[in-house]
């Protein structure tokens, strides 16, 4: 499993696209990403649209239903969330869900997971939110159940938050399914990634990446793990336009707190920025979203053509 070039689809509200054609735009983007050389397509695990992309009531598809449909709309590209909110599902059920996705997609599922953070969703849907510390306690317990289930083991676990009693997880297609953690927490997330994950998607300001990469390596070394066995990627917001002027117009919608995670310009300009600010910091791969223009035919292909040489070179 490797995520060198991922395409995340975070936005389902587009001019002139009615609900009955909504999934068609998602499937088209996924197929375009597959053809363009992206290795993974990812969707958010949210029920409301996120601040900075749109209003809460804007369209938001349930993640695993969407990925299951994309399994039939594509043939080679990996399928994942970026990332599953642990608080939204019982961990044994989540292991069953992602394993079913793996079977349906013929071995293309990746379990992306994090502690959960969007308080309003928890409040409105009736999920317990709890404290920051409690959410990470829950994630630790959940991974203690999920990781062995993905390997075909039948864990028995009695925790503060979750219980499993010899949970069976069949059918399975592969010896295991890759686990990707998403986040930036040095004390909790990175330690869990070192223990459980195959991949760490670091979500932070680009300027912080050299420090984050160094700390993640340290967390691996603390438990005797070779840091090279934990791949990394970075989630970039792509404000990509046909011209630099159009990209700058799109950038007006970026919230102040995310401006250091956004990359704007033509596809080639964005590729140059990602090389200098992300890959040069020691990150292995790029996950990019195009929330304003990705639904336009050809844009994903153009971005893929610009970015693929960067990650192919890095993998060589």
DSSP for 101-132? HHHHTTS-EEEEEE----HHHHHHHT-----H
* Sequential pLDDT tens for the chain (316 residues): 689 999 999 999 999 999 999 999 999 999 999 999 999 999 999 999 998 899 999 999 999 999 999 999 999 999 999 999 999 999 999 999 999 999 999 999 999 999 999 999 999 999 999 999 999 999 999 999 999 999 999 999 999 999 999 999 999 999 999 999 999 999 999 999 999 999 999 999 999 999 999 999 999 999 999 999 999 999 999 999 888 888 778 877 777 777 788 899 999 999 999 999 999 999 999 999 999 999 999 999 999 999 999 998 655 4
* Predicted TM-score of the model (pTM): 0.96
- φ, ψ dihedrals at 233, nearest 5°: -145, 170
Tell me how many domains the chain contains: 1
Q: CATH number for the domain including 284?
A: 3.20.20.30
Give the domain extent around 309.
5-315
Residue 176 near residue 149, CB atoms below 8 Å: no
How many Å apart are CA 169 and CA 166, to the nearest integer? 10
Interatomic CA distance for residues 185 and 273, integer angstroms: 24
Alpha helices in the chain (DSSP H): 22-36, 63-73, 91-104, 119-125, 132-150, 189-196, 209-222, 244-250, 267-277, 299-315
Q: Which of the 8 DSSP states describes residue 26?
A: H
Q: How far apart are CA 87 and CA 44, in angstroms?
A: 14
């Amino acid at each position: 499993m490797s995520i060198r070039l991922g395409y995340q689809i975070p936005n389902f509200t587009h001019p002139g696209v009615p609900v009955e054609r909504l999934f068609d735009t998602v499937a088209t983007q996924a197929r375009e990403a597959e053809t363009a050389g992206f290795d993974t397509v990812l969707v958010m695990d949210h029920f409301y649209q996120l601040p900075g992309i749109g209003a809460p009531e804007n369209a938001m598809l349930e993640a695993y239903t969407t990925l299951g449909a994309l399994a039939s709309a594509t043939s080679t590209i990996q399928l994942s969330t970026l990332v599953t909110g642990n608080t939204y599902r019982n961990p044994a059920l989540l292991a069953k869900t992602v394993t079913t996705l793996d079977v349906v997609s013929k071995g293309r599922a990746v379990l992306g997971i994090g502690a959960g953070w969007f308080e309003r969703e928890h409040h409105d849907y009736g999920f317990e939110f709890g404290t920051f510390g409690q959410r990470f306690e829950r994630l630790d317990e959940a991974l203690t159940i999920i990781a062995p289930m993905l390997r075909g083991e039948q864990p028995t676990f009695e925790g503060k938050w979750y219980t499993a009693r010899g949970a069976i997880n069949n059918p399975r297609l592969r010896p295991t399914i890759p686990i990707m953690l998403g986040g930036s927490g040095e004390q909790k997330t990175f330690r869990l990634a070192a223990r459980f994950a195959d991949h760490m998607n670091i979500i932070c300001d680009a300027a912080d990446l050299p420090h984050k990469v160094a700390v993640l390596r340290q967390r691996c070394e603390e438990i005797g793990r070779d840091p090279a066995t934990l791949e990394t990627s970075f989630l970039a917001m792509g404000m990509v336009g046909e011209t630099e002027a159009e990209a700058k117009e799109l950038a007006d919608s970026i919230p102040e707190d995310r401006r250091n995670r956004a990359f704007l310009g033509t596809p080639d300009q964005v590729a140059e920025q990602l090389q200098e600010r992300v890959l040069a910091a020691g990150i292995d791969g790029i996950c990019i979203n195009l929330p304003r223009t990705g639904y336009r035919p050809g844009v994903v292909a153009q971005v893929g053509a610009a970015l693929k040489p960067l990650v192919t070179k890095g993998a060589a």
